[in-house]
Structure 1
Amino acid sequence: MRAGDSFTIVNRGKISFDAETFTLLYLPIVGSNAFALYQLLTTFSTGRISHFLEYLNIGLNPFLESLDKLSGLGLVKVFDDHTMLYFDVKSPLTYDEFLSDDFYKQLLISRIGENRVTGLSKKIEVKGQNISKKFHEVYKVDFDNEPKAAVSTDSFDMGAFKSLMDRQGLTFSNENLERLSLYSLAEKFDLNWYELFKKAESTANADKTLNLSALTRSLSASSEPQVALSSFPKAFADLIVSSKSHEPVEFIQQIKSQAGGFVSGDERKILNNLTKQNLPSEVQNVLIHYILVQQKNASLSSNFVNTLANDWMRNKVFTAEMAVKRILERSESAQIKAQEKQNFTKKQTKIVKEAPKWSNPSYENKTSEEELARLEKIRLASLQKLKGEQQ
C-alpha cells in the first residue's frame, strides 16, 4: 500500500456510530491514530491514501499500523485488487455488546484495569412496574413462514472453556493475559473451545495451571505438515504408530519386560521430569526406544536423556514423526563425521622415505679417480669465485 493508491469506502453512510461508546471502550485499545482514522473512514467516500496522511498528519507506516489495529478488531475489512483499495467499514459493538463480550472486556481490562472496566459496567437499577408490551401483543407474525434464527459458530465460547477447566481442576496463572491468548490461539488454529481445551489440558503444568507456551508449541508443531509414514523405514514407521498409543511408563515397561529387566525409581523420576517439561508422550516414547533399543543401553541416564530432550525441544520436536526424523538426521551426521575422520587419518599417514645410499653401513664408494678430480676442480672454482665476491 502506497500513499498514491486510490481507495473507495464501500458502505459509506451505513455505519452505526456512537461516539461516546467508541471513545470509552475502543480508544484505550486502538490508540488515538486508529481512533481518528476510523472516524475519517466513516466520512470519506473516495480518494487517495495520502488524504488520510494529510488529515491525520502521520506517515504511511503509522497509518498502516492504525489500519491493522482496526481490521484486527473487525472494524474495517481491506480489499486490494491492485488497481483500487476497498474499505468495508463495520459498525462498532454497542456499549452493552462490548462489555458482555468476554474477549473485548478482557482486552479493555488489559489496557485500563479491572476496576475502571467494572465501573463502566455498572448500570442504573430501574424501579417501578414494567408496563411494556410484549411482541406478540403488538405484532402479528405468520409463524409458519418465520425465518430460523442463525446461530453463530465463529465466536470462541470462553464460558464453556472455563467451566470445563473448573471441573478438571485446571487454573490460570495470569487470567487476563491467558484468556486473550486463548482467543488468539483458537482463531489462529481454527479450533472450537473443546478442541482447544483438550490441547490445553494435555500441555498443562504439573500443578494444573495452563502452560500457554507449551500449548502454543504443541499447536504449532501439530499444524505443520507431517512426513508420511510410508517415507520412513518400516521399523521406524512401526515405532511411530506404537509411540502414539502408549504412555511413557507403559512403553518403557514393555521394553524392559522383553529384555527381562524392570523400571527403576530413577527412570520414573526422569520420565516425570520430561512430562513436567511438557515433552509430549509420543516423543518421550521415541526417546526411550532410541536409548534402550537402538543405543543398547540397559537403563535411562538422566544426563543422556536431558541432552537429547533439550536438543529436541530447541528444534521444536513435538511429534513422534519429528523425533524419528531427528534420530535419522543424527545418525546420518555421525556417519558423515566418521567418514571424514577416516579420510583425514589416511591423509595423515606418514610416507616412509628411502634413506640415502651413503647412510648404509655396507655402502661402498665406487667413484673413479677421474671423477674425484673433476669434482675437486669444481669445488675449488666455486670457492675462488666466492672469495672474489667477498673482496
Structure 2
Amino acid sequence: MRAGDSFTMVNRGKTSFDAETFRLLYLPIIGTDAFALYQLMLSFSTGRISHFLEYLNIGLNPFVEALNKLTGLSLVHVYDDHTRLYFKVESPLNFEEFLADEFYRQLLISKIGENRVSGLSKTIEPKGKEISKKFHEIYKVSFNQPDEPQGQGAHANNNFDMGAFQSLMTRQGLHFNDENKEVLALYALAEKFELNWYELFKLAEQTANADKSLNVSQLTHRLSATHEPQRPLSEFPKAFADLIVTSKAHEPEAFLKQIKAQAGGFVSNDERKILAHLSRQNLVPEVQNILIHYVLVQQKNATLSSSFVNTLANDWMRNKVFTAEKAVERIMERNEGAKAKAAQAAAAQAAKRPAKLKKEAPKWSNPNYENKTSQEQLAKLEKIRLESLKKLKGETE
C-alpha cells in the first residue's frame, strides 16, 4: 500500500454510527489513530491514500497499522484489484450488542479493567407493568415466504460459542488460569484455525494441565503442528506408512494390548502407569502408539521401560511432535543418526589398527618381466660366481 494509491468507498452513507458507543467501547481497543481513521472513512467517497495521511497528520506506516486494527475487528474490509483499493465500512455494534458479546467484552476488559466495564454495563431498570404490544399482535406476517438470508460479518459467522465452551468446561471440571487472557486466546485460535467451540474444546481438554487448568500454550503448539502440511504417506516406506494409518485408528492401551498379544505377552500395571503419564504430558494418542511400536517392535524390548519411554517422549515434545507422521520422521532421523555414529566408530577403530606391511614380490616373478642386464654385467656376475665356487672348493678340500 502506497500513499499514491487510489481508493473508493463502496458503501458510503449506508453505515449506522453511534458516536458515544464508539468513544466509550471501541476507542480503548483500537486507539486514537484508528478511531479517527474510521470516522474519516465515513466522510470520504474516493481519493488517494495521501488524503487520509494529510487529514490525520500521520505517516503511511501508522495509517496501515490503524487500518489493520479496524479490519481486525471487522469494522472495515479492504479489497485490492491492483488498480485501486476498495474500502467497505461496517457499522459498529451498538452498546447492548457490544457488552453482550463475550469476545468484545473480554477485549474491553483487557484494556480498561473489569470494574469500569461493569460500570458501563449498569442500566436503569424500568418499573411497573409492561404494556407493550407483541409483534404478531400488530403486524401480519406470512410464514410461507422463504427465509431471508441474514448479513454475516466476520464475527457474526464465527460459530465459536464461548458460553457453550465454558459450560462444558464446568461439567468436565476444567478451569482457567487467567480467564481474560485465555478467553481472548481461545477466540483467536478458533478464528485462525476455523474451529467451532466443540472442536476447540476437545483439543483444549486433551492439552489441559494435570490440575485440570487450560494450557493455552500447549493447545497453540498442538494446533500449529497439526495444521502444518503433512508429509504424504507415499513418501514413507510402506511399513511406516501402514504403521501411521494403524496408529490413528487405536487408543494407546488397545494398541499396546494388540502388540503384546502377538508376542504372547500381557500389559502390566507399570505399563498402564506409563501410558497414563504420557497422556498427562499431553502426548497425542497416535504419537504414543508410534512410540510403543518403536520400543517394543523396532527395538525388540519385551516391555515398556519408563526411563527409555520418558527419554523419547521428552525429545518428541521438545521437537513439537504432535502427529504420527512427525513421530515416524523423528524415528527415521534417529535411525540415520545411529547408522552415522556406527560408521564413524568403525572408521575410528580401523584407524587405530597397525598397518600391515606389504611384502612386494620380486620383479622377476612378474610374467611380463623383461631382463635388461647387459653382456658386460653378465660377465662380471659370472666371474663373481666362479670365484665364489673356487672359495667353496678350497674350503671343502
Structure 2 length-normalised TM: 0.80
Residue 319 of structure 1, CA deviation: 1.1
Residue 340 of structure 1, CA deviation: 4.7
Q: Aligned equivalents of 2:144 and 2:293: distance in 1?
A: 65
Deviation track 1:15-53 (CA, whole Å, cap 9, x = no partner) reads: 211110001100111111111111111122222222222
Deviation track 1:101-141 (CA, whole Å, cap 9, x = no partner) reads: 11111111111111111111111111233333333343343
The count of residues paired between Structure 1 and Structure 2 equals 355
- Aligned partner letter, 1:324: V
Residue 344 of structure 1, CA deviation: 5.9
Residue 147 of structure 1, CA deviation: 3.8
Task: Tell me the SS of whatever aligns to 2:144.
Answer: helix
Structure 2 equivalent of residue 66 of structure 1: 66
Match of 1:188 among 187, 192, 206: 192
Structure 1 equivalent of residue 170 of structure 2: 166
Residue 74 of structure 1, CA deviation: 0.3
- Aligned partner letter, 1:227: R
Query: Do structure 1's residue 233 and structure 2's residue 237 form an aligned pair?
Result: yes
Structure 2 equivalent of residue 372 of structure 1: none
Residue 69 of structure 1, CA deviation: 0.7
Q: Structure 1's 138 and 256: CA in aligned 2 closer, same or farther, altered over 3 A?
A: closer
Q: Structure 1's 349 and 86: CA in aligned 2 closer, same or farther, altered over 3 A?
A: farther
Task: Tell me the SS of whatever aligns to 2:310.
Answer: helix
Structure 1 equivalent of residue 286 of structure 2: 282
CA RMSD of aligned residues (A): 2.6
Q: Structure 1's 46 and 268: CA in aligned 2 closer, same or farther, altered over 3 A?
A: same
Residue 266 of structure 1, CA deviation: 4.7
Task: Tell me the SS of whatever aligns to 2:283.
Answer: coil
After the TM superposition, which of the residue ranges 98-107 and 224-233 deviates more from structure 2?
224-233
Q: Aligned equivalents of 2:226 and 2:297: distance in 1?
A: 27
Query: Do structure 1's residue 127 and structure 2's residue 127 form an aligned pair?
Result: yes
Query: Do structure 1's residue 114 and structure 2's residue 149 form an aligned pair?
Result: no
Residue 279 of structure 1, CA deviation: 1.0
Q: Structure 1's 242 and 47: CA in aligned 2 closer, same or farther, altered over 3 A?
A: same
Structure 1 equivalent of residue 221 of structure 2: 217
Residue 76 of structure 1, CA deviation: 0.2
Structure 2 equivalent of residue 176 of structure 1: 180
Q: Structure 1's 149 and 11: CA in aligned 2 closer, same or farther, altered over 3 A?
A: closer
8 A Cα contact 2:34 2:69, kept in partner: yes
Task: Tell me the SS of whatever aligns to 2:171.
Answer: helix
Q: Structure 1's 343 and 102: CA in aligned 2 closer, same or farther, altered over 3 A?
A: same
Query: Do structure 1's residue 320 and structure 2's residue 324 form an aligned pair?
Result: yes
Q: Aligned equivalents of 2:134 and 2:344: distance in 1?
A: 87
Q: Aligned equivalents of 1:181 and 1:82: distance in 2?
A: 34
Residue 219 of structure 1, CA deviation: 1.9
Q: Structure 1's 259 and 146: CA in aligned 2 closer, same or farther, altered over 3 A?
A: closer
8 A Cα contact 2:240 2:328, kept in partner: yes
8 A Cα contact 2:159 2:197, kept in partner: no
Match of 1:204 among 202, 205, 208: 208
**Where in structure 1 are there 5+ consecutive unaligned residues?**
356-391
Query: Do structure 1's residue 136 and structure 2's residue 140 form an aligned pair?
Result: no
Query: Do structure 1's residue 252 and structure 2's residue 256 form an aligned pair?
Result: yes
8 A Cα contact 2:207 2:214, kept in partner: yes
Residue 83 of structure 1, CA deviation: 1.7
Q: Aligned equivalents of 2:66 and 2:127: distance in 1?
A: 43
Over the matched positions of the two proteins, sequence identity in percent amounts to 69
8 A Cα contact 2:9 2:45, kept in partner: yes
After the TM superposition, which of the residue ranges 152-161 and 280-289 deviates more from structure 2?
152-161
Structure 1 length-normalised TM: 0.82
Q: Aligned equivalents of 1:8 and 1:153: distance in 2?
A: 26
Structure 2 equivalent of residue 154 of structure 1: 158
Q: Structure 1's 233 and 318: CA in aligned 2 closer, same or farther, altered over 3 A?
A: same
- Aligned partner letter, 2:35: F
